[in-house]
Copies of this chain bind each other. A is one copy, B any other.
Amino acid sequence: MRTELIILGVDPGLTRCGVGVIEAGAYRRLSFIHVDVIRSSIDVSQDLRLLTIWEGLNAKMDEFVPDVVSIEQVFAQHNINTVLGTAQVAGLAMVAAAQRSIPVAVHTPSQVKLAVTGNGKADKLQVERMVARILNLNKLPDPPDAADALAQAITHALHPAGELQGGEREQHLTPAQRQWAEALKKQQQNKSRMHGRGM
């Protein structure tokens, strides 16, 4: 019987999309497998940028055949200039996983910082250092941006609650996240009522 779990973490981004792969074995022993950044040029159109990221994500999933894909949660409050592209890349990662029937987990940046460093407000270097320590790397993750993708995968290994994508997931949200989720649900219900005539 196979007991290890291959977890592919994604730090979504249109210019740089981090991908980190770890193995979670018995007794929560975590091993490093792979880390990389999929890049798209800012000089080409949005559709071609997204296609590049899409192909990169699919190639990673084909290569590492993860048991679960864990993606950083995107919030609409984030940097308004980049949030749409980031959300689109997160969506592509979800579809690439769903097409392979791989469960999708979502963890927020503060959940990741808390899980990896014990401090929900840790800075980037603290996260990098703890990722290196947890995975027994003899230097900081390279490229540095990809540390977030490894941290995302580690978080899922330690706190897999994010895997529950439906209603149950809401039990694990912070008050602010729950408020957000409720507003979102309410909005969707209103919308489906408003548009119900064609259904």
Contact = CB atoms under 8 A, between A and B. Distances in A.
A114 to B, nearest CB: 22
A150 interface: no
A165 B46 contact: yes
A99 B112 CA distance: 33
A136 interface: no
Contacts of A195: 15-16, 145
A49 to B, nearest CB: 9
Q: How large is the interface on A (under 10, 10 to 19, 20 to 34, 35 or more residues)?
A: 35 or more
Contacts of A16: 195
A98 interface: yes
A90 interface: yes
A84 B79 contact: no
Given A42-B189, A81-B188, 14 more contacts: A15-B191, A15-B195, A42-B185, A46-B106, A54-B99, A76-B76, A81-B183, A81-B187, A82-B184, A83-B84, A88-B94, A143-B198, A144-B197, A145-B198
Interface string A84-112: 10011111101101110000101000000
A74 interface: yes
A175 interface: no
